[in-house]
Amino acid sequence: MTMHVIEMPDLGMGTFRLEGKTAYNSVRMALEVGFRHIDTAQIYGNEKQIGEAIKDSNIPRDELFITTKVWNDNLNKKNFIKSVKESLDKLQVDRVDLLLIHWPASTTGDSMSEYLTELKKAKNQGLTKHIGVSNFTIANLKEAMQTLDSREIFTNQIEVHPYLTNTKMRSFCQQHDIHVTAYMPFAVGKALKDDVVIDIANKHKATPAQVILAWVNANGMTTIPSSTKRENLKDNFDDSVKLDKEDIDRIDALDRSERQATPDFAPDWDE
């Protein structure tokens, strides 16, 4: 074991929909604010800018936790490893800390066992420290466990926010010791305007964003909100807000199974 063992920080900087100069500037600011966990994906088209921002920050590599995700077109034996190496080149790193399958949706029709075998190969080749999945349902995870030991599945990155608490999936992950990473924690801003969230924020003299992140944290999940404003990044990074049981129950009760991310290739979600 090396001295610098970092596991995934509870809070990461998400970069979905951030492109070009915006992606670069947002990641630079996030790193200046104190973020050390950066989440990207091949399909975001911003790995190059993120690589530049990380390089220019001069933060030692072993202080960072970098995640990227393999896109649907590369979920096959022919493209998988090659695409991961391209991601590493763009990010200017020798390996990522976490490599995820972005969606269980190979466009080439290859089986899950084939692309998960490639994922494992990427780990064995030292291209990533940890491996995991994203947007997998319970049925998908059960299938994945026929190829990968559940202990090897570092996380399932799924949509979780006050309007989609995703409790069935979360409890399945808990049973199998698979960590949950929550994306879109603010439900693309909608949950920040919720009266209940605002009421709890007033009670704690906090921002609605801080309340939602504290709720995610109280539920034992990691989360990766995205922001392009330094002030919001600072707010998000401030984890001093601690919710009581009543606060958590009130937010849990906002669940209405309202998904924001439902592309046409999405799996049949667990309700």
pLDDT in single tens digits along all 271 residues of the chain: 334 445 899 999 999 999 999 999 999 999 999 999 999 999 999 999 999 999 999 999 999 999 999 999 999 999 999 999 999 999 999 999 999 999 999 999 999 999 999 999 999 999 999 999 999 999 999 999 999 999 999 999 999 999 999 999 999 999 999 999 999 999 999 999 999 999 999 999 999 999 999 999 999 999 999 999 999 999 999 999 999 999 999 999 999 999 999 999 999 999 6
Please identify which of the residues 44, 115, 163, 183 carries the catalytic annotation.
44
Give dist(CA 222, CA 115) in Å, integer.
25
Query: Which among 212, 213, 217, 214 is positioned nearest to 197, based on CA atoms?
Result: 212
Q: Is 44 a catalytic residue?
A: yes
- Domains of the chain (ranges; CATH) run 13-187+221-239 (3.20.20.100)
Helix (H) or strand (E) holding 200: helix 195-203
Q: Which H helix or E strand runs over 250?
A: helix 245-252
Burial of residue 166, with CB atoms counted within 10 A of its CB: 0-12 exposed, 13-18 middle, 19 or more buried: buried
As a whole number of angstroms, the distance between CA 221 and CA 27 comes to 22
